[in-house]
Amino acid sequence: MRIPAVNKIIPRILCIGRLQRQSIISLASLLILTLTGFISTMYFAHLLGAEGLGGYKIFLAYLAVFTLLTEGGISAAMVKRISEGGDSGQYYSASVFLRILLLTVVIAGILIAKPVFKDLTSSGLYYLLILTIIAGGTYNLIISAVYGSGKVGISQISSLLNETTRITTQVITVFSGLKSAGLAAGHIAGFIIGAAFAFRFRTVRLARFGMEHIRSIYAYAKWSFLSGAGTTVIAYADTILVGYFLTNYEVGIYGISLQFSAIATLAAAAMINTLFPQVSFWHREEEYSMIKNAVGKSLAYALIPAIPAVFGGIILGDSILYFLYGADFAKGTTALMMILPAQLFSIFFLTGIMCLNAFNRPRESFRITTSSAAVNILLNLLLIPFFGINGSALAFLVTMAFSALYSAVSLRETLPLKPDIPVVKDTIMASVVMAAAVLMLKEVFPPDSWQVLFIIVISGSACYLLILLRINRTLKEDILKILADFGFTAKK
């Protein structure tokens, strides 16, 4: 059965430039994921409380560590080699072989060390962790092959299916009374569905490979792994250390503040995912002017939603945490006020790491992430005992500022991490006006219910967009062009 509306929309999407099209698909999928993720997290927060969510956050930290060990930087190396062209099938096959080898070793280690994981065993998450690692490894292999081939849109749709399946399964299982086990089972279901979809669009196939392909993968993967280890430490060290010094209750509160702040990086994540294969290709062709223009524009456009999100989150953070997640989570307001601006620095940090990896400089990425991880751990050890989760938030802010600066210094001679200045100026101006309007609305109409809070948020967002489009003609023209490509034209 053919659907006329779909038949009209798809050709219009395909007429849009490749990077624009992939960025739109990536951003749209991230927005859908974020919306469903926020709604489901609110449900879990009210049903399980801070204590229950804290236990799940610990599970995620374990999962991240063991996924890193089974990953070994191989997927990043595979994406890099496939995106360069050449022996795609051989590199894919060599990567599959190495991943199976690592997965076998890691799973054997987890089984041998079972007595160490008393918390996971008592909560029934031990075997679910093993199954999740296996399912996640399979998913990453397939989606990396698709992504490396330049099919960013397909990889994003696969990711969307993965996450929506995960969330749906989690809602059903938690409602059925499985609690943390249900949250873990959702990951397995998501990986299976996401992998099954992406598998249909693979263009690389298994082929006979040689030691030269393994050596090439290993040469890139070893530094990518070490760099990924630093990134993982930055992402999860604070959660683990908060759990060590405090309790799962505080972990849950801190985790919600950290998760909510990620709204500021949505556009950046979409653009980074889209740019990597293209920047890798441009680097091989020595098209540095194309890279500079694309990176500068992507940074500016990533900041368009990020800056007002930081302003609004700081002003309304207490009400947002209270009404969306519950009274317990409002205790993370001060931490949220420090985590939000840290996400602005993380945009430059992650963009810098992406560029270094695309430039075939994973060793420098390793240096940056390792140094940042060391700073993060040290600050957390010093600050959490005295300031609790606020100390961890401050550690995250300082770490992200340090990481962004280090990335910019490393790239200064090749590619300045400099966004389009006029766009950034207009974004800041519109955000300031929006902040003033939100403060006035908050004073006149105190957000004593979620309905009032919703109206204030929508009003502030509308104010921001109207002002930004009014003062930045280039941005307005870009949006009108995209709408025209979709077939939406203004009536004369």
Give the chain's domain count. 1
Q: Which domain holds residue 59?
A: 13-419
Nearest-angstrom CA–CA distance, 82 and 279: 13
In a domain, 445, yes or no: no
Entry pTM = 0.73
Amino acid identity of residue 387, one-letter, is F
In a domain, 1, yes or no: no
In a domain, 454, yes or no: no
Question: Which of 442, 464, 436, 447 shows the shortest CA–CA distance to 320?
Answer: 447
In a domain, 484, yes or no: no
Nearest-angstrom CA–CA distance, 313 and 315: 5
What dihedral do alpha carbons 435, 441, 442, 444 form, nearest 10°? 150
pLDDT confidence of residue 48: 73
Per-residue pLDDT of the chain (492 residues; tens, 9 = 90+): 344 444 444 444 444 455 555 556 655 666 666 667 777 777 777 777 777 777 777 788 788 888 888 887 777 777 777 776 666 777 778 888 888 888 999 899 888 888 877 667 766 778 888 999 999 888 988 888 787 777 767 777 888 888 889 988 988 888 887 877 888 889 999 999 988 888 887 777 777 777 877 887 777 777 667 666 777 777 777 877 887 788 778 888 888 888 888 888 877 777 777 777 778 778 777 777 888 888 888 888 888 889 999 999 999 989 998 888 888 888 999 999 999 999 999 999 988 888 888 887 877 888 888 899 899 999 999 999 999 999 999 999 999 999 999 998 988 877 877 887 888 898 999 999 999 999 999 998 888 888 899 999 999 999 998 998 888 777 766 666 554 554 445 444
Long-range contacts of 20-23 (CB under 8 A, 24+ apart): 20/482, 21/153, 22/152, 22/153, 22/156, 22/274, 23/270, 23/271, 23/274, 23/298
Nearest-angstrom CA–CA distance, 232 and 354: 15
In a domain, 429, yes or no: no
pLDDT confidence of residue 19: 53
Residue 317 CB coordination number (10 Å): 22
Helix 266-285, helix 126-148: angle, nearest 10:
50
Token pair for 42: 């609110």
Task: Categorise residue 85: left if φ over 0, alpha if ψ from -120 to 50, beta otherwise.
Answer: left
Residues ≥6 apart with Cβ < 8 Å to 378? none
In a domain, 491, yes or no: no
In a domain, 458, yes or no: no
pLDDT confidence of residue 431: 93
